[in-house]
Amino acid sequence: MARPKRQEARRTQLMEAARRAVVERGLVDLRLGDVAEKAGLSPGSVLYYFPTLPALLREVQREAMGRFCTAREEAVRDEPDPRERLLAMIMSGLPEGPGDELAYLLYELGAFARKDAAYAARYIELYQRQVTIYVGILEAGAAIGTFRLAGDALTIARNIVTLEDGYGLHMTMAVPTCEPAEAARQIIAYASAVTGCELT
C-alpha cells in the first residue's frame, strides 16, 4: 500500500494528468486510458487512487473551482473603492479568450452537472460564492452613495454572474461568438445602468 505522502503526490499527479486530458480531448472523447497515458501509468493504477473516472474528474472540478473563486476574491480584496471593486470583479469573471484553460475546464466539466447531483451541488456553490461577493460590493457602494441601485443587490448580483457565465461560454467554444473586450463592455454597461454609476 502506498504511504500517505506518496498517495497524495500520486493523486495530485493524476489530477494534473486528467486536467490536461480534459483540455486537450474534451469530455466527449475522454477515456480512463487517456488520463493513464498522460500520467505514465496503467489504467489499473489510476483506479487504485480513484475508483472511477468521474470520481477523478470531481476532484479536478473541485480544484479548478477553488482556484477560480480564490482568484476572484483576491482581485477585489484590497480595493477600497466600490466602483473599482465592481470593475475588478467583472474582469476577473471573464475568460481571457478560447485558450483560457481554467474557464474551459469549468465549462467542460459543467456538462456533468446536468445529471450528477454532486457536480451540480458544486456549481451551485460556485454560483453562490460569486453572487455573495457581488452583493457585498453592491451593498457597500450603495451604503456610501457611490451606487444608486435600480433593484435589490441580490438580483443584480445574480444577473451579473449569469451574464458572465453566458458570455464566457460563448468565448470558450471551438468557434467563439464573442470577444473578451465586447463581453466586458456589455457587462459593464449593464452594471453601470443598474448601479447608477458610470463604470467606464
Answer yes or no: pTM beyond 0.85: yes
Residues 137 and 181 in one domain: yes
Residue 38's contacts (CB-CB under 8 Å, 6 or more residues apart) are 17, 18, 20, 21
Q: Which domain holds residue 90?
A: 60-195
Q: Cell numbers at residue 80, please?
A: 477600497
| 3-state DSSP assignment of residue 26 | coil
191 is a domain residue: yes
Distance CA 134, CA 118 (A): 25
Structurally, how many domains does the chain consist of?
Answer: 2
Residue 74 burial class via C-beta count within 10 angstroms: exposed 0-12, middle 13-18, buried 19 and up? exposed
Q: Is 118 found in the same domain as 87?
A: yes
Same domain, 64 and 156: yes
Residue at 200 is within a domain: no
Q: What is the CATH number of the domain that holds 29?
A: 1.10.10.60
- Tell me: do 171 and 103 sit in the same domain: yes
**Ordered per-residue pLDDT tens for the chain, 200 residues:** 456 678 889 999 999 999 999 999 988 889 999 999 999 999 999 999 999 999 999 999 999 999 999 999 999 999 999 999 999 999 999 999 888 999 999 999 988 888 889 889 999 999 999 999 999 999 999 999 999 999 999 999 999 999 999 999 999 988 989 999 999 999 999 999 999 999 97
